[in-house]
Amino acid sequence: MARPLASWQPRTRRAFIASAMVVVGVPTIACAQDAPPAAPPPAEFRWIAPGDSLLRGARVVPGVARFALTAYRDADEFPIGRIQEEVKVDTVGGVPVLRRVVQLQRSGPNGTQRITDSSTTELLTLAPRWHRSEQPNRRITIDFAGRKVRALIGLPDASPAVVDTTVARPPFDSGNWELLLRALPLAPGLRVRFLVYDTDAGIHEYRLAVTGTATIQGEEAHVVTFALSRTSEAMVWVSKASGQLLQMETMIGGNTLLRQVRTTR
Question: pLDDT tens, 166-202?
Answer: 999 999 999 999 999 999 999 999 999 999 998 888 9
| Residue 246 amino acid letter | L
Cα(17)–Cα(233) distance, integer angstroms: 9
pLDDT digits (tens, 9 = 90+) for 16-42: 333 332 222 222 223 333 444 555 555
Q: What is the mean pLDDT of residues 111-119?
A: 91
* Average pLDDT in the chain: 84
pLDDT band at 156 (very low <50, low <70, confident <90, very high): confident
All structural domains of the chain with their residue ranges:
13-23+42-263
- Residues in contact with 140: Cβ distance below 8 Å, sequence separation at least 6, in sequence order: 131, 132, 133, 151, 152, 153, 199
Cα(88)–Cα(129) distance, integer angstroms: 15
- Residues in contact with 201: Cβ distance below 8 Å, sequence separation at least 6, in sequence order: 174
pTM of the model: 0.81
- Residues in contact with 133: Cβ distance below 8 Å, sequence separation at least 6, in sequence order: 115, 116, 117, 139, 140, 141, 175
